[in-house]
């Protein structure tokens, strides 16, 4: 309440002054007719009281503009009529800028915190743009009289632009328009209406003046592009409009888009079409997890009133089935399909030799633009003795045909956790080693705890705060991983070791260093918000672009990279990361979109939490999968979703409703008002919305309704 009181006082003062202005019809004194009728009296008063007239005029002008009242145009004309061009220009220029700044400050004091807290995520792109180029935007708006100045004052107050920047840019930006109006005021007798001042020609001139900075920006960008490209001869003709390096998710989508808009495109892949997701990542891991889950369900038959059963299996056949799944999906990403779409598919290692050329196995292709979509690869930490002892990664584990008796999985992230559970369910003795305090570190602690408990039920030994130091062979030839835990060394014996501590972008051998294209500390290709590198002809997408390493994000980025590469000279689009979902396919699954509690607290974002336990859901109970929860963060006092986390069966499917809500701006009330089929798992989302609504029930109204119904029963 103490913070609210000053705002209420300021709001009351502004409201009273505005009310007095209209209630006492003060606007009649700020009309062109009144000014012309009283010009002789004003001139006489000014001749007798020069300093007082100038002071009163200055203060009135500041008050009118500061309160965003109508009449500034007439006051500007009055300045020219009373004081002449020189004195009038000085008074109006400073009074208008000071008044605009006061209006700016009032708007900022009363509304900015509320607007930013309520719409902060949606305004992030605008805020970032204002922080970076706010002066440029404001100057452009000030030059164009088609934009009402009082609106500019109020709106800019809601943004992060600094007050002194606002004042200085306003002082300079409004000067040209002020000259026109003050000069017109010196010829007041000839003016019948404001339209006489701003003729169509003058309006067009001002508009051209306003868009000049935008045109200048395009010109500067062209000059920079020419400067960075000047050492590289531009071909007279090009073999291709676009060359894409890498046929993973980002590369496939980029080439597909280019072919769709009838550009000539080449897609270069050094290994296998489909990239890591098809061949060594998403597809094979999900095929393996499906078989592992069936084994677990058979062992837990009592959940469904059945006898627990051990299903016999041949691990080699399971792994062959994984490969058959890959082969069945391969045609979706095949050379044949993309060739039929109009893409030239080329096998080989690609090297970018200039902003216009790509060399592939001795052949040089000329192209107007390039998209780097070379993907990522497993990161292998520099652990002593690791290479000598031998290890698998998420790429090579699919070569296994014999189930290891003792498996160590190094890494507690999504990949490590999924494969840990899968191999444990096949019967391997699995130890998961994680150097951090918990697995799935990006999720909320309760999510990590629930998944860890389930891994323990599957027989996994989860060792957190264990840092792998070295691998070695003991005297008997046993392979050991030596870990450090709270200063003590721990020996862990294994028959197979899976290194799954994360992935890194694949940038080696592409020619980036020779061209001076920077690689960031995270290993990604340095690019701007348009996914453009230092060269205006070279873009990137997917794992090499970052910051996310998801197949669906790679495909999302590919649209921006390819469209900007093909049409950037006409229109460019900033990559949009506002709604990025992901899932970890452990059992139970973990799915998330937007903020969780951990991130909200780290960023200082205010939120309200609503939680629904899936153990209460009819369908989950009937399926014997009544575990997990739905957790949603909303803006305080609003039903708008800031983020959602679902832990439970098919969480990756259920999260879609919250993804759509965040993307399209509707809230929990809309979800609550949507019919969900009974009995389905999707009802969990509706019940979550119901929990949110119940927590905000109008208790006072309900108490009166109870009295009303009691009265009705008596009468």
- Residue 67: per-residue pLDDT: 86
Phi, psi of 120 (to 5 degrees): -55, -45
**Which residue's structure tokens are 């005021």?**
185
Cα pseudo-dihedral 595, 601, 605, 610, rounded to 10: 60
- Residue 342: per-residue pLDDT: 96
Q: Which residue has the higher pLDDT, 73 or 322?
A: 322
Whether the bond into 439 is cis, omega within 30 of 0 = no
Mean pLDDT of 320-326: 96
pLDDT band of residue 476 (cuts 50, 70, 90) is: confident
Residue 445 scores a pLDDT above 50 = yes
Range name among 68-82, 197-211, 242-256, 615-629 with the lowest pLDDT average: 197-211
- Residue 396: per-residue pLDDT: 95
Whether the bond into 679 is cis, omega within 30 of 0 = yes
Residue 206 scores a pLDDT above 50 = no
Residue 221 scores a pLDDT above 70 = no
Mean pLDDT of 427-452: 96
- Residue 1: per-residue pLDDT: 52
Rounded to whole angstroms, the Cα distance separating 637 from 45 reads 56
Residue 192 scores a pLDDT above 70 = no
267-271: Cβ within 8 A, 24+ apart: 267/338, 267/343, 267/344, 267/345, 267/346, 268/243, 268/244, 268/346, 268/347, 268/348, 268/350, 268/358, 268/360, 269/345, 269/346, 269/347, 270/347, 270/348, 270/349, 270/350
Residue 144 scores a pLDDT above 70 = no
Mean pLDDT of 322-346: 95
Per-residue H/E/C for 308-357: CCCCCCCHHHHHHHHHHHHHHHHHHHCHHHHHHHCEEEEECCEEEEECCE
Run of H or E including 81: helix 72-107
Rounded to whole angstroms, the Cα distance separating 583 from 590 reads 5
> pLDDT digits over 390-431, tens only?
999 999 999 999 999 999 999 999 999 999 999 999 999 999
Contact 596, 443 (CB under 8 A): yes
Whether the bond into 474 is cis, omega within 30 of 0 = no
pLDDT band of residue 70 (cuts 50, 70, 90) is: confident
The proportion of the chain whose per-residue pLDDT surpasses 90, expressed as a percent, equals 61
Rounded to whole angstroms, the Cα distance separating 115 from 699 reads 28
- Residue 672: per-residue pLDDT: 96
Rounded to whole angstroms, the Cα distance separating 230 from 551 reads 36
Range name among 12-16, 39-43, 240-244, 607-611 with the lowest pLDDT average: 39-43
Specify the pTM.
0.77
Contact 688, 648 (CB under 8 A): no
> pLDDT digits over 526-544, tens only?
999 999 999 999 999 999 9
Mean pLDDT of 338-357: 95
Contact 267, 251 (CB under 8 A): yes
- Residue 85: per-residue pLDDT: 84
- Residue 28: per-residue pLDDT: 78
Mean pLDDT of 485-504: 94
- Residue 26: per-residue pLDDT: 78
> pLDDT digits over 563-599, tens only?
999 998 888 899 989 899 999 999 999 999 999 999 9
- Residue 202: per-residue pLDDT: 45
Range name among 148-152, 385-389, 654-658 with the lowest pLDDT average: 148-152
Residue 475 scores a pLDDT above 50 = yes
pLDDT band of residue 2 (cuts 50, 70, 90) is: low
């Amino acid at each position: 309440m103490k913070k609210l009181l000053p705002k209420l006082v300021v709001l009351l003062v502004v409201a009273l002054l505005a009310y007095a202005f209209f209630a006492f019809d003060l606007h009649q004194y700020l009309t062109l007719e009144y000014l012309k009728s009283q010009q002789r009296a004003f001139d006489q008063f000014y001749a007798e009281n020069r300093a007082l007239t100038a002071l009163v005029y200055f203060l009135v002008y500041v008050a009118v503009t500061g309160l965003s009242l109508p009449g500034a145009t007439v006051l500007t004309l009055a300045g020219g009529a009373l004081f002449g061009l020189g004195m009038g220009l000085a008074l109006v220029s400073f009074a208008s800028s000071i008044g605009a700044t006061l209006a700016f400050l009032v708007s900022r004091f009363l509304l900015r915190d509320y607007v930013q807290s309520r719409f902060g995520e949606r305004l992030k792109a605008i805020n970032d743009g204002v922080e970076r180029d706010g002066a440029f935007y404001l100057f452009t708006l000030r030059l164009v009289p088609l934009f009402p100045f009082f609106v500019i004052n109020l709106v800019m107050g809601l943004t992060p632009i600094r007050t002194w920047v606002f004042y200085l840019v306003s002082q300079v930006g409004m000067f040209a328009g002020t000259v026109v109006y003050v000069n017109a005021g010196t010829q007041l007798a000839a003016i019948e209406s404001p339209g006489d001042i701003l003729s169509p020609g003058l309006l067009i001139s001002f508009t051209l003046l306003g868009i000049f900075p935008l045109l200048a920006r395009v010109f500067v960008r062209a000059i920079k592009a020419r400067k960075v490209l000047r050492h590289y001869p531009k071909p007279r003709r090009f073999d291709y409009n676009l060359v894409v390096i890498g046929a993973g998710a980002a590369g496939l989508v980029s080439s597909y888009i280019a072919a769709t808009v009838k550009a000539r495109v080449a897609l270069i892949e050094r290994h296998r079409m489909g990239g890591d997701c098809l061949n060594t990542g998403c597809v094979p891991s999900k095929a393996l997890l499906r078989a592992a889950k069936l084994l677990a369900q058979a062992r837990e038959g009592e959940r469904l009133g059945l006898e627990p059963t051990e299903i016999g299996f041949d691990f080699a056949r399971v792994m062959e089935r994984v490969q058959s799944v890959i082969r069945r999906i391969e045609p979706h990403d095949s050379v044949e399909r993309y060739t039929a779409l109009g893409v030239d598919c080329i096998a080989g290692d690609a090297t970018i030799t200039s902003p216009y050329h790509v060399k592939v196995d001795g052949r040089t292709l000329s192209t107007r633009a390039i998209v780097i979509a070379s993907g990522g690869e497993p990161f292998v930490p520099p652990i002593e003795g690791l290479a000598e002892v031998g290890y698998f990664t998420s790429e090579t584990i699919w070569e296994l045909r014999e189930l290891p008796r003792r498996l160590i999985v190094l890494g507690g992230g999504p990949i490590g956790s999924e494969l840990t559970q899968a191999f444990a369910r096949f019967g391997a003795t699995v130890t998961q080693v994680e150097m951090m305090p918990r697995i799935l570190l990006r999720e909320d602690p309760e999510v990590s705890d629930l998944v860890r408990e389930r891994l323990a039920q599957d027989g996994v030994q989860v060792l957190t705060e264990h840092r792998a130091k070295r691998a070695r062979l003991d005297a008997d030839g046993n392979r050991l991983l030596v870990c450090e835990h709270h200063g003590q060394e721990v020996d862990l014996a294994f028959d197979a070791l899976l290194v799954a501590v994360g992935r890194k972008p694949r940038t080696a051998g592409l020619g980036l260093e020779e061209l001076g294209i920077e690689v960031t500390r995270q290993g990604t290709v340095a690019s701007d918000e348009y996914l453009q590198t230092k060269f205006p002809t070279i873009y990137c997408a997917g794992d090499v672009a970052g910051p996310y390493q998801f197949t669906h994000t790679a495909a999302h980025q590919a649209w921006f990279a390819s469209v900007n590469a093909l049409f950037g000279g006409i229109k460019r689009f900033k990559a949009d990361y506002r709604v990025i979902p992901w899932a970890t396919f452990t059992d139970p699954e973990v799915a998330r979109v937007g903020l969780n509690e951990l991130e909200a607290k780290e960023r200082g974002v205010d939120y309200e939490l609503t939680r629904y336990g899936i153990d209460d859901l009819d369908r989950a109970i009937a399926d014997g999968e009544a575990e997990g929860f739905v957790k949603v963060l909303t803006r305080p006092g609003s039903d708008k979703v800031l983020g959602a986390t679902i832990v439970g069966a098919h969480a990756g499917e259920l999260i879609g409703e919250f993804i759509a809500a965040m993307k399209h701006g509707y809230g929990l009330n809309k979800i609550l008002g949507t019919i969900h089929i009974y009995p389905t798992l999707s009802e969990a989302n509706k019940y979550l919305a119901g929990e949110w609504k119940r927590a905000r029930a109008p208790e006072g109204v309900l108490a009166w309704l109870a009295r009303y119904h009691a009265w009705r029963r008596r009468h």
